[in-house]
Amino acid sequence: MEATDLNFLKPSLLDVIDILLVALIIYYIYSLIRGTLAVNIFIGFMLIYASYYAVDALKMRLLSSILGSFVSVGFIALIIVFQQEMRRFLLTIGKNISISNRTWLTYLFKKEDMVMDNMAKIKPIIDACKTMKKNRTGALIVFVKYFDQDIFANSGEMMNAKISKRLLESIFQKYSPLHDGAVIISENMIKCASCILPLTENDKLPPQFGLRHRAGIGVTESSEATALIVSEETGEISYAQQGRVKMNISFTDLERLLNKDF
């Protein structure tokens, strides 16, 4: 064997960086589709590709031509089928970059003042959740960074109101005309209430999850939103993000999550 045949065994620094970047992209994609129906769809795509190469190697011309026509448009099909996951992937990248940029700005301000300001914003939400948990009042609060009026306002009632404990409690109290649906919070304002959200298609959720939980999880699957859910049956508080949900969280955990994501 010539020495030139062994060159591939001597990776350069760029080769290592290349492998690490590909591994990072695969990890991000996996973290986005984990626990969703997209995993089953992706496995289906892989099985079709494997079947095509198998029947092509066996010279099964009819089946090979059928699967080949699918494989030829496979990339376009992937874009169509995984458009929500790709959108979330791009939003995640943009979010991480924006967070990195904001970390430099923290040096221009007093950290203590920023923490106190953030606590003042989330305190009414936590206080309202404490009351609703005690009274077992069902609630769905969605936090979005960018408020899309075409998506949310068309299915709910516009408010543009200051966040307050009493307002949140009055919206979700049983006899309020706005208690069905979600409250959308963006830019430190209650933008709208009684919004109808898309339900998740994940069939592996616990059976006790009703429409409120499924709507909260569904909106985090299709957008870079986070959802806070209070169960009407148990008073349990759940927190959904990127299609995954943390159940029965404490108020200490809720404060930490809101400080991180609000």
Dihedrals phi, psi of 182, to nearest 5 degrees: -115, 150
At 153 the pLDDT is 64
Residue 140 domain-assigned (yes or no): yes
Residue 171 domain-assigned (yes or no): yes
Residue 22 domain-assigned (yes or no): yes
Instruction: Please check whether residues 193 and 152 belong to one and the same domain.
Output: yes
Among candidate residues 72, 97, 108, 82, the one with its CA nearest the CA of residue 29: 82
| CATH code of 243's domain | 3.40.1700.10
At 167 the pLDDT is 94
Residue 255 domain-assigned (yes or no): yes
Instruction: Please check whether residues 245 and 123 belong to one and the same domain.
Output: yes
Instruction: Please check whether residues 252 and 125 belong to one and the same domain.
Output: yes
Instruction: Please check whether residues 128 and 201 belong to one and the same domain.
Output: yes
Report d(CA 196, CA 213) in Å as an integer: 13
* Residue 239 vs residue 145, higher pLDDT: 239
Residue 2 domain-assigned (yes or no): no
User: Hey, what are 118's tokens?
Assistant: 């953030």
- pLDDT over 70 at 16, yes or no: yes
- pLDDT over 60 at 142, yes or no: yes
Instruction: Please check whether residues 124 and 164 belong to one and the same domain.
Output: yes
User: Hey, what are 151's tokens?
Assistant: 């998506």
Report d(CA 205, CA 101) in Å as an integer: 36
User: Hey, what are 165's tokens?
Assistant: 């404990």
At 128 the pLDDT is 93
At 107 the pLDDT is 47
Report d(CA 136, CA 129) in Å as an integer: 10
Instruction: Please check whether residues 169 and 243 belong to one and the same domain.
Output: yes
* Residue 192 vs residue 48, higher pLDDT: 192
- pLDDT over 70 at 58, yes or no: yes
Q: Stretch 181-198: mean pLDDT, rounded?
A: 89
Residue 151 domain-assigned (yes or no): yes
Dihedrals phi, psi of 21, to nearest 5 degrees: -65, -40
At 90 the pLDDT is 66
Q: Are 200 and 243 within 8 A, CB to CB?
A: yes
At 52 the pLDDT is 82
Instruction: Please check whether residues 95 and 124 belong to one and the same domain.
Output: no
Query: Which of the four pLDDT bands, split at 50, 70 and 90, describes residue 97?
Result: low
102-141 pLDDT, tens digit each: 554 554 455 555 555 667 788 999 999 999 999 999 999 9
Instruction: Please check whether residues 131 and 245 belong to one and the same domain.
Output: yes
Instruction: Please check whether residues 156 and 33 belong to one and the same domain.
Output: no
Final residue in a domain of this structure, among 35, 69, 104: 104
Q: What is the CA radius of gyration of the chain?
A: 24
Q: Are 85 and 38 within 8 A, CB to CB?
A: yes
User: Hey, what are 256's tokens?
Assistant: 């930490």
Residue 3 domain-assigned (yes or no): no
Final residue in a domain of this structure, among 104, 135, 158: 104
Query: Which of the four pLDDT bands, split at 50, 70 and 90, describes residue 37?
Result: low
Query: Which of the four pLDDT bands, split at 50, 70 and 90, describes residue 157?
Result: confident
Final residue in a domain of this structure, among 77, 104, 131: 104
Residue 223 domain-assigned (yes or no): yes
Among candidate residues 250, 189, 197, 193, the one with its CA nearest the CA of residue 219: 197
Q: What residues pair up with 140 in beta bridges, in sequence order? A: 229
The whole domain housing 39 covers: 8-104
Q: Stretch 79-92: mean pLDDT, rounded?
A: 65
Instruction: Please check whether residues 231 and 214 belong to one and the same domain.
Output: yes
Q: Stretch 175-204: mean pLDDT, rounded?
A: 87
Instruction: Please check whether residues 239 and 140 belong to one and the same domain.
Output: yes
Dihedrals phi, psi of 203, to nearest 5 degrees: -95, 10
197-250 pLDDT, tens digit each: 888 888 778 888 888 999 998 888 877 789 999 999 889 999 998 888 899 999
Among candidate residues 82, 93, 88, 78, the one with its CA nearest the CA of residue 222: 88
Report d(CA 244, CA 38) in Å as an integer: 13
At 113 the pLDDT is 53
At 50 the pLDDT is 84
Instruction: Please check whether residues 145 and 214 belong to one and the same domain.
Output: yes
Domain count of the fold of the chain: 2
Q: To which residue do tokens 């919206």 refer?
A: 171
Dihedrals phi, psi of 191, to nearest 5 degrees: -75, -45
